[in-house]
């Protein structure tokens, strides 16, 4: 079975000090044994932000045997609608919206449209906006 990986799960697996390191390593290995692991283009970009070069990023992708799936118009539209809903959400007085949620909406929408489970360590960012997404989390 094909599985999407969120950047949070990959970073937890890479960084030994992360709270969910052991869980991420085990879950990624388990799902790799069952089928391909895929990432969205935005995950590639988020990983690249922590690398020294494109070559280092590509080497990590190859080492992890990750495949990339490009966004479809349907998933991009769904991500935009989720973001719109997020921006319109009522907040407590003084509570500001997070500004870094759009990547999660792009990842969640693509996984949901493709009908592929998503491994993440920050499931709350996905659950409220993608009710049909199969989220694998600690």
pLDDT band for position 125 (50/70/90)?
confident
Burial 62-87 (b: 16+ CB within 10 A, else e): eebebeebebeeebeebbeebbeebe
Q: Domain 3-136, CATH 3.40.50.1010 — does that match? A: yes
Task: State the average pLDDT for the chain.
Answer: 93
Q: Is 40 exposed, middle or buried (0-12, 13-18, 19+ CB in 10 A)?
A: buried
Read off the pLDDT of residues 31-54 as tens digits, 9 standing for 90 and up. Answer: 999 999 999 999 999 999 988 999
Residue ranges per structural domain of the chain: 3-136
The C-alpha atoms of residue 110 and residue 116 are separated, in whole angstroms, by 9
């Amino acid at each position: 079975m094909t599985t999407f990986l969120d950047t949070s799960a990959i970073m937890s697996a890479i960084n030994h000090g992360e709270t969910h390191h052991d869980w991420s390593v085990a879950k990624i290995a388990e799902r790799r044994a069952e089928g391909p692991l895929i990432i969205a283009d935005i995950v590639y970009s988020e990983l690249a932000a922590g690398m020294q070069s494109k070559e280092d990023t590509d080497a990590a992708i190859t080492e992890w045997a990750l495949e990339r799936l490009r966004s479809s118009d349907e998933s991009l539209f769904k991500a935009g609608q989720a973001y719109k809903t997020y921006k319109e959400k009522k907040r407590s007085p003084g509570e500001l919206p997070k500004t870094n949620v759009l990547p999660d909406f792009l990842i969640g929408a693509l996984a949901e449209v493709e009908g592929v489970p998503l491994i993440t360590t920050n499931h709350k960012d996905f659950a409220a906006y993608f009710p049909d997404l199969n989220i694998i989390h600690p």
